[in-house]
Structure 1
Amino acid sequence: MKNKLMIVAISLIAMVNTYAQEKENLWKAGRPDGHAPISVMGDHYHGKGDVMFSYRYMRMNMEGLLDGTSDISNTAAHNRGYMVTPLNMPMDMHMIGVMYGVTDKITVMAMAMYMQNEMDLQMRMPTGMTNQFATASSGFGDIKIGALYKFINKDRQSLHANVSLSIPTGTLEAKDVTPMSAPNEIQLPYPMQIGSGTFDAELGLTYLGQTNNFSWGTQLKGLYRFGRNDFDYSLGNRYNLNSWFAYKTTDWLSFSARGEVVAEERINGANPNLNPMMVTTADTFNSGGKYINGGLGFNIYIPEGRFKNVRFGFEYAQPLFQEPNGIQLERRETLTFGLQYSL
């Protein structure tokens, strides 16, 4: 009898040790580098019943003109036949999101956004002189809903799928007054519109890895547009590959570096209300391109206390290479701030 009890006790101890080792060997989100840089979406999943609320603010600045990889002056762009050319464009985006673990394998998510765009432009007068003016647009953008499916979480490595659908709730009729239309408002060109006007599907795959003090990840995504919107065009499909590396300095702080490759197709179709020779941004030839971006950031995570599971992230990103199609504004710095809170 004693021998049997001893065997049972040894078996139970072995099972507990095995379970503890398996738990210790999982990829974990509850550390400062347990999330990707704040600019990366859908990088992690949640356990059954877990909820996370998030807020992100992103500011992107564009200034000066590129013709492919070469600088081009506004005067040279005017000489191509365009009456108006852009000088700069800051864009602000506020994003509110929620994630919920339906099961340990499936996490659902939703995100809404509010956008503010401004653009300074230069108009060539018939006399050869130039005149500067500004336009602006703002409003709630398209709503995104989606799900993450966890394939594996083993040996401190994880793999999950990203599937989401963008619902066209953002306006395509943003208007403003220009010197040519005054005192009336006219419909603004493509970059100043708030939504896509189409149902868009995003498919992706995310791989994550960790050690005691380091973490890394790679995410591949494709954004596909379905049909054309009410103004007979659709934005170009977009493909991007993100890879990042982070170092956990303490239980509450980590630093990260990120690299991204982006390929975006030209706009398909054309809005009949826009004159492509009036301004470069109304010409669909001047849309899409190839980009390589780099970013540096940090994550602050509160592991215990009154503000337990609150996370703050920041990233500064800059293009390392850019080759827009046709004549477009040169992309400059992008700043992203974010707060996340898990229940």
Structure 2
Amino acid sequence: MLCCVSNLISAQEIRSKKENITLNLVNGIDLTSTFNVTENKVGESIRKTFGESGLDFSDENNRYFISVSFGWSYKRSTELEIDNYKGLIIDKGDGDKIIAEFTCSKTNNLQSSTQELINLIMLHNKAIDEEGKFIDISDHFMKMNKKMWDSSRPDSHAPSAILADHTHATGGMMFGYKYTSSRGENNYNGNKIFTRDDIATYYDRHVTSQVFGTHSFEFMYGLTDKLTLFSNLNFHINESSYLSKQNNLYTFNSSGIGDLEVQFLYNLVANENIKIHSNIGFSLPTGSISREDINDGILPYSMQMGSGHVSSVIGFTVFSQFNKFSAGIQPIYKLSLYENSRGYMAGDKLSINYWGAMNLSKLISISFRQNYIYLNGIKGQDSELDSTIMILNNKNNSGYVLLNSALGLNFTFNKGILKNKRLSMEYILPTYMSYEGLQVGSFNGFSLTLQYSPGGHMGH
């Protein structure tokens, strides 16, 4: 969240070894004025201890705002407790200038820690000179701004459909829910449509459409300031429709838990306006590959919940932030490691996302993203699937090259019940598609994401 300015002289940097606190007091604070603070656990403690020391938190039209975020750690292996916190004191009456920054690297007791913080502020605030400054505030703010990634901006996360796009400081957490939906229709070979008459030459059934819905549950935890754990578990709801040779329309469905993906995100660069981290992990076969239809026949490959085998995941994410604009790129390669128990394995997949986003306000941004996907065909085959019945049963009808384009909206919230939450959405359209064999074409998709960070946006 914070990057201390290297040229701060010792008179401005105040430390408390007892409570592991570092305070950089940049400008004088009018302690008789009014204050407000972030609505979270640390904010509640600051409001209480600062209030007991005489600071006024009663006025909604406050002059100073104390922005604070925190990290968690485990106590007795299962119980979470606040481990550290960081914050800024902002002078809203002077153009939102940052006048102080503070860090507690290890919180032994939250109440005594925040009490020590107000003691340091009150003691050293008396040392301000007649002009009310230690140093030139504009110079300090400019240098701080150059080195600080603003995680409160609506464009500081990637667009909705992208996973594992950011990292967290030690103890920082994020919970996320994502819903994605896609619909496909028509039958393609390469990028040409095949008619029902064409399909009937080779297959008994004509697949007319497929609809895939996925509920995803994300979790992130900052193991250290350099290393973040990311996990994602899906719940799939799939539907396929086909016409028989007698022109009867049928639908078959499947649903269930998908494969669990785990990644370790390691910070390679966190410098000025750019962040780079590696994405290294694996996909575990927690999804079923034995879903059946109402007649106890095995369902096609695309209607199963998972891959049935472990896959490795490797890639990296580059994210740049400018004044009102941000951009990023994320290449991810997924490698299937062995055949599953039904005798096949999913094709290796290269996915490259690149995007740009522009802030419309402090709360809203718009984004444009493109996603290049190269998917190899299925290797091996399920011996229970009759490949002459429909195109979905034939493993030769797998693998493709796609280029999708997406328009998105991103929202961040700084007060009320949505405090520390993010909402983003995208509408996805195909720009280019080329399919191996005969496959149902992908026509449009939608993604909706809600994310919550208990310790606040800062620090990730």
Q: What TM-score do the two structures reach when normalised by structure 2?
A: 0.68
For 1:27, the equivalent position in structure 2 comes to: 149
Q: For 1:240-269, what per-residue CA distance to the aligned partner results, in whole angstroms no more than 9, with x for missing partners?
A: 111100001111100000011110000000
Residue of structure 2 in register with 1:324 after alignment: 435
Whose radius of gyration is greater, 1 or 2? Answer: 2
1:63 counterpart = 2:185: yes
Distance 1:191 1:53 in 2: 28
Q: CA deviation at 1:303?
A: 2.5
1:297, CA displacement in angstroms? 0.6
Deviation at 1:123, TM superposition (A): 2.1
Contact 1:32 1:254 in 2 (8 A): yes
Change (3 A) 1:60 1:8: closer
1:225 CA drift (Å): 0.5
Alignment counterpart, residue 243 of structure 2, candidates 105, 114, 122: 122
Does 2:227 correspond to 1:106? yes
Q: What's the counterpart of residue 92 of structure 2?
A: none
Instruction: Please report how far the alpha carbon of residue 27 of structure 1 lies from its aligned counterpart in structure 2 after TM superposition.
Output: 2.9
1:168 CA displacement? 0.4
Letter in 2 for 1:239: L
Give the AA of the match of 2:258: G
Contact 1:26 1:157 in 2 (8 A): no
Aligned with 1:93 (options 208, 214, 219) = 214
Instruction: Spell out, residue by residue over 1:20-60, the C-alpha distance to the aligned partner (whole angstroms, 9 max, x if none).
Output: 82564233332100001010011111111110000000111
Partner of 1:50: 172
Is 1:146 the counterpart of 2:267 in the alignment? Answer: no
Superimposed CA distance per residue, residues 158-184 of structure 1 (whole angstroms, 9 cap, x where no aligned partner):
11100121110111111113xxxxxx3
**Other-structure match for 1:4:** none
> Could you tell me the TM-score, scaled by structure 1's length?
0.90
Which residue in the other structure is 2:75 paired with?
none
Evaluate the alpha carbon distance shift between residue 155 and residue 134 of structure 1 in structure 2; reply closer, same or farther with a 3 A threshold.
Answer: same
> Mind listing any 5+ residue stretches in structure 1 that lack a counterpart?
1-6, 178-183
Q: Does 1:211 align with 2:322?
A: yes
The answer as to 2:159 corresponding to 1:37 is yes
> What does residue range 301-316 of structure 1 map to in structure 2 within 5 Å?
301-316=412-427
Does the aligned pair in 2 maintain the 1:281–1:328 contact within 8 Å? yes
- Greater relative CO, 1 or 2 (CA 8 Å, sep 6+): 1
Answer yes or no: is the 8 Å Cα contact 1:27–1:209 preserved in 2: no
Task: Report the CA distance between 1:199 and its aligned residue.
Answer: 0.3
Match of 2:312 among 176, 201, 222: 201
Conserved in 2, the CA contact under 8 Å of 1:29 and 1:44?
no
- What is the count of residue pairs matched by the alignment? 326
Higher mean alpha-carbon deviation, 19-28 vs 249-258, is at: 19-28
> What code does the residue aligned with 1:111 have?
N
Measured after TM superposition, the shift of residue 185 of structure 1 is 1.9
**Counterpart-to-counterpart distance in 1, 2:140 and 2:380:** 59
1:260-309 superposed Cα distances (whole Å, 9 cap, x missing partner): 11100000000000111121111111001000000001111012444321
Shift in alpha-carbon separation, 1:151–1:170, aligned structure 2, 3 A? same
- 2:274 maps to which of 145, 157, 170: 157
Amino acid at match of 2:396: F
- Is contact 1:90-1:119 (8 Å) kept? yes
Query: Partners in 2 of 1:222 and 1:108 — Cα distance?
Result: 18
Residues 210-242 of structure 1: per-residue CA shift (max 9 Å, x gap): 112100000111001110000000010000111
Which one-letter code corresponds to 2:227 in the other structure? I
**Structure 2 counterpart of 1:173:** 290
Among candidates 280, 284, 287, match of residue 398 of structure 2: 287
| Amino acid across the alignment from 1:319 | P
Q: Which amino acid aligns with 1:257?
A: F
Structure 2: state its 5+ residue gaps: 1-8, 14-23, 25-133, 455-460
Residue identity opposite 2:228 in structure 1:
T
**Cα deviation, residue 10, structure 1:** 9.5
Q: Using the alignment, how far apart are the partners of 1:9 and 1:168 within structure 2?
A: 57
The range that moved more, 17-26 or 154-163, is 17-26
- Report which of the two has the higher share of strand: 1
Identity among equivalent positions (%) equals: 29
Query: 1:205 and 1:280 mapped to 2: Cα distance?
Result: 35
Structure 1 residues 100 and 23: alpha-carbon distance in aligned structure 2, compared to 1, 3 A threshold: farther
Partner SS, residue 76 of structure 1: helix
Q: CA RMSD in A?
A: 2.1
- SS at 1:110 equivalent: strand
Please say if 1:223 is aligned against 2:340.
Answer: no
Give the deviation of 1:150 after TM superposition. Answer: 0.6
Equivalences for residues 325-340 of structure 1 within 5 A: 325-340=436-451
